[in-house]
Amino acid sequence: MSTASNRGPLAYLLKLGEFIKFSHTLFALPFALASMLVAFEKKLGPAAPPEWRTLLLILLAMAGARTAAMAFNRIVDRKFDAANPRTAMRHLPQRQLSLFSAWLLVVLGAGALVAAAWFLNPLCFWLSPVALFIILFYSFTKRFTDYSHFFLGVALGISPVGAWIAVTGSLHVAPILLGVAVTLWVAGFDMIYAIQDEEFDREHGLHSMAVRFGSYGALTLARILHGFTVALLLVFGLVAGRRGPFWSGLAVIVVMLSIEHIIASWRSLKWVNVAFFRVNALVSSVLLFAIAADVYLPKRLFTWF
């Protein structure tokens, strides 16, 4: 028999959080916040605290975009999820959540993104439908292209660009470099993640690099993409005038990406999940911490970098 706690509002909210994988926000959000900090530094000067109104609106926009994208993905993939043993226990196949609730999350998330963009600045508002199209369109790409990983990368890679525009109302080469780095980083780790479903995807006519080139080919391409990710982060650091903490953080990221590929080379599905979730959450978090230290710690501490 279900207890009251299992039927209460808190339990329902937790179920919604599980449905949209709210914990995965750790992948894109730190990059957006890192871009925001550099933008505030350019706009307000070194060590200037962020404008709290802008910060809260960026968080609202990110949460809305993430909610809409994930709920929409679960809706359009629900039949494939039901057929795949790895995903059959998800909320929609198991009827733990109604289709109406899922669509409501899409609408509320999209509304939150557009509303936050409206209050940020005109450029953000006019670009918000473009952002919505990008993050929702990704869900269809596995049906017709092997390059779906790159579409996912773009969906997350626009976050640092959007955060920069939110702060400055204009565009700059620095967030574009960071956005492309995020795009290649996400595409790389998604190729690793897709290895789990190689056989299922092939049998059901779905596309991925693992289906096209096999697991070895997908892992090789992921390594190449992560090499370009590091190169782009290096160029970003130079263009954005970063100092010691950033370069130290980049060195840590190189080590973590190397660990990810060592783990992925074992080709154990259990360890693929470790590589995907834990290592990549740390990559984005380390970058945010490094940039925050770079922006806010006194420059005199790093004159030797």
Tally of CB atoms within 10 A around 122 = 10
CA distance 117 to 34: 19
Judged against a pLDDT cut of 60, whether residue 304 lies above it is answered with no
Q: Which domains does the chain have, with CATH numbers?
A: 22-300 (1.10.357.140)
Read off the pLDDT of residues 123-139 as tens digits, 9 standing for 90 and up: 999 999 999 999 999 99
Judged against a pLDDT cut of 80, whether residue 25 lies above it is answered with no
For the chain, the 3-state helix, strand and coil shares in percent, each to the nearest 5, are: 80, 0, 20
**Nearest by Cα to 67 from 6, 16, 118, 33:** 16
Residue range 102-130: mean pLDDT, rounded: 96
**Nearest by Cα to 261 from 217, 211, 219, 215:** 219
- Give the least confident one: 6-15, 150-159, 168-177, 273-282: 6-15
Indicate the DSSP class of residue 279. Answer: I
DSSP states along 84-113:
-TTTTTSTTTTTSS-HHHHHHHHHHHHHHH
Q: Mean pLDDT score of the chain, rounded to an integer?
A: 89
Question: Which H or E element spans position 264?
Answer: helix 244-265
Judged against a pLDDT cut of 90, whether residue 281 lies above it is answered with no
Answer yes or no: are the C-beta atoms of 226 and 185 closer than 8 Å.
yes
Residue range 222-229: mean pLDDT, rounded: 97
**Nearest by Cα to 223 from 236, 237, 209, 212:** 209
CA distance 21 to 190: 15
- Give the least confident one: 10-24, 50-64, 83-97: 10-24
CA distance 148 to 140: 9
Percent of the chain surpassing pLDDT 90: 70
3-state secondary structure of 250: helix
Q: What is the pLDDT of residue 4?
A: 39
- pTM across the whole model: 0.91
Q: What is the pLDDT of residue 264?
A: 81
The confidence band for 276, taking pLDDT boundaries of 50, 70 and 90, is low
Read off the pLDDT of residues 241-259 as tens digits, 9 standing for 90 and up: 998 999 999 999 999 999 8
3-state secondary structure of 243: coil
Judged against a pLDDT cut of 60, whether residue 6 lies above it is answered with no
Q: What is the pLDDT of residue 2?
A: 41
The confidence band for 20, taking pLDDT boundaries of 50, 70 and 90, is low
- If 0-12 CB within 10 Å is exposed, 13-18 middle and 19+ buried, where does residue 26 land? middle
